[in-house]
Amino acid sequence: MLEILILIIYIFSIAVLFIFAAHYIFILYFYIKTKNKSISLPQTLKHYPDVTIQLPLYNEKYVAKRLIESVIKIDYPIDKLEIQVLDDSNDETVDICKNLVSKYRLLGHNIHYIHRKIRIGYKAGALKEGLANASGEYIAIFDADFVPKVDFLKRTLSYFNDKKIGMVQTRWEHINREQSWITKAQAIALDAHFSLEQEVRNRAGFFINFNGTAGIWRKSCIIDSGNWHYDTLTEDFDLSYRAQLRGWKFIYLNDFTSPAELPSDINSLKIQQFRWAKGAIETCLKLLPTILKSDIKPIVKLESIFHLTGYLVFPFILIVAGLNIPILMIKISSNNYDSIFAFMSLFIIASLATLLFYTVSQRNLHRDWKKKIIYFPFFLIGSLGMAVNNTKAVMEALIGKKSDFHRTPKNGCKKIIEEKINDYWESKSVINIPSLIEIIFSLYFVLGIIFSVLYNDFGGIPFQILFMLSYGIIGFYSLKEKLRV
DSSP-derived secondary structure letter, 196: I
Alpha-carbon gap, residue 282 to 238, rounded angstroms: 9
Alpha-carbon distance of 356 to 29, in angstroms, equals: 12
368 as an active site residue: the answer is no
Find out whether 263 and 409 touch, Cβ atoms under 8 Å: yes
What is the rounded distance in angstroms from the CA atom of residue 417 to the CA atom of residue 415? 6
Strand 81-87, strand 51-57: pairing: parallel
Name the nearest CA neighbour of 467 among 354, 341, 383.
383
Distance of alpha carbon 161 from alpha carbon 365, whole angstroms: 28
Q: What is the dihedral of CA 100, 102, 104, 105, to 10 degrees?
A: 150
**50, 134 contact by CB (below 8 A):** no
Whether 79 is catalytic is: no
Q: How far is CA 253 from the centre of its chain?
A: 17
Task: Confirm if 176 and 261 have CB atoms less than 8 A apart.
Answer: yes
Distance CA 174, CA 235 (A): 23
Catalytic residue (one of 143, 145, 191, 236): 236
Q: Are 235 and 281 in contact (CB under 8 A)?
A: no
The active-site residue out of 88, 191, 238, 265 is 88
Q: Which residues pair with 139 in a beta bridge?
A: 52, 217
Please name the residues in contact with 374: beta carbons below 8 A apart, sequence gap of 6 or more.
none
408: nearest Cα among 60, 141, 91, 56: 60
List the catalytic residues. 88, 236
